Amino acid sequence: MDLRRQVAYRSKRLNHGHLVEADLRYGTREALGPHAVMLFFTSPGPSEPHGYRLHTGYRLFLASPESDDLPRLLADLTAVAESNIARSAAAGRRWHPLGPHAAMVNGGDMTLPPHAHYVGAGVSTLDSDDGRWDQLARSLRNPAATGLRRSAWDLKGQCFVLLVDGTAMHIERNPHARLGDDGIRSSKPLDPNWNTCWHNPNAGLTEQGDHTARERWRHLTALHTIFTTHLHAGRPA
């Protein structure tokens, strides 16, 4: 349960960093797309409160029609991962998404300590129920007739995460959330005192929402499955 919370809080931080960087680059040749991919790993950390350290690599994408379409972006990454695995196996190497050959990340923890292992994948997106990123970014630079101005610090963001223990999480980062509202919906409990007899309305999280939401989960599941199958092969049960 601690890992679920740590991943959720790390995702929020990465989403905020994604927002700040996208705001800084908006309108330039290096403008960022609204979606990023996150990969989570843990390594032994005997001095840490729960005995592990969390590591996160991420990939940001330049703005383009392809990077604006999240299902397409995830499907393309899944195909690239499959190709990299096959090509590395043919060359007698074992591919890893953090590299050194054909790395799939361009930020965060680019190298891992010994005995680190994969625990999940996620998406950071700057689209929210307030609107799409491109619309929101334009509104920051062209305030409404009311004269009210907002900054990037006022904008929401959200993340979608799948972990190897079967947990799915939808994490909303809302700078104006009420105190005590962490914005985390999880298919598995985050509270160690959770009673197994209680109903969890988010148990079927990946099947909830409209067609677009379900497609997002479906493509993230495909990418996560590739990583889980490949990176956990040969590990002791």
Q: What angle do CA 39, 93, 100 make, to 5 degrees?
A: 45
**pLDDT confidence of residue 53:** 96
CA distance 209 to 123: 17
Signed CA dihedral, 144, 149, 154, 160: sign only: positive
Range of the domain at 219: 2-231
Look at residue 108 and give its three-state secondary structure: strand
Are the C-beta atoms of residues 70 and 124 closer than 8 Å to each other?
no
Residue 67 has pLDDT above 70, yes or no: yes
Work out the average pLDDT over 148-171: 92
The reply to whether 144 falls in a domain is: yes
Residue 40 lies in a domain: yes
Closest to 77 (Cα-Cα) out of 220, 173, 206 = 220
The answer to whether position 187 is within a domain reads yes
Q: Which pTM value belongs to this model?
A: 0.93
184 assigned to some structural domain: yes
Contacts of 141 by beta carbon, 8 Å cutoff, 6+ apart: 26, 27
- For residue 91, pLDDT over 60 is answered with yes
To the nearest whole number, what is the mean pLDDT of the chain? Answer: 92
Quick check: 4 pLDDT over 60?
yes
Q: What is the pLDDT of residues 11-31, one digit of tens each?
A: 999 999 999 999 999 999 999
pLDDT at 160: 98
**pLDDT value, residue 219:** 98
Q: What is the sign, positive or negative, of the torsion defined by CA atoms of 65, 70, 74, 75?
A: negative
Q: What is the pLDDT of residue 198?
A: 82
In this predicted structure, the answer to whether residue 131 has a pLDDT above a threshold of 80 is yes
Please report the pLDDT score of residue 236 as a whole number: 47
How many structural domains comprise the chain? Answer: 1
Task: Note whether residue 236 is domain-resident.
Answer: no
Tell me the torsion sign for CA atoms 12, 15, 19, 24. Answer: positive
| Mode of pairing for the β-strands spanning 52-62 and 32-44 | antiparallel
Q: In this structure, is residue 34 part of a structural domain?
A: yes
Tell me, yes or no, whether 29 lies in a domain: yes
Identify the residue with better confidence: 18 or 199: 18
Cα four-point dihedral sign 204, 210, 214, 216: negative
Is the confidence at residue 143, as pLDDT, over 80? no
**Is 237 inside any structural domain?**
no
What is the tens place of the pLDDT at every residue in 203-221?
999 999 999 999 999 999 9
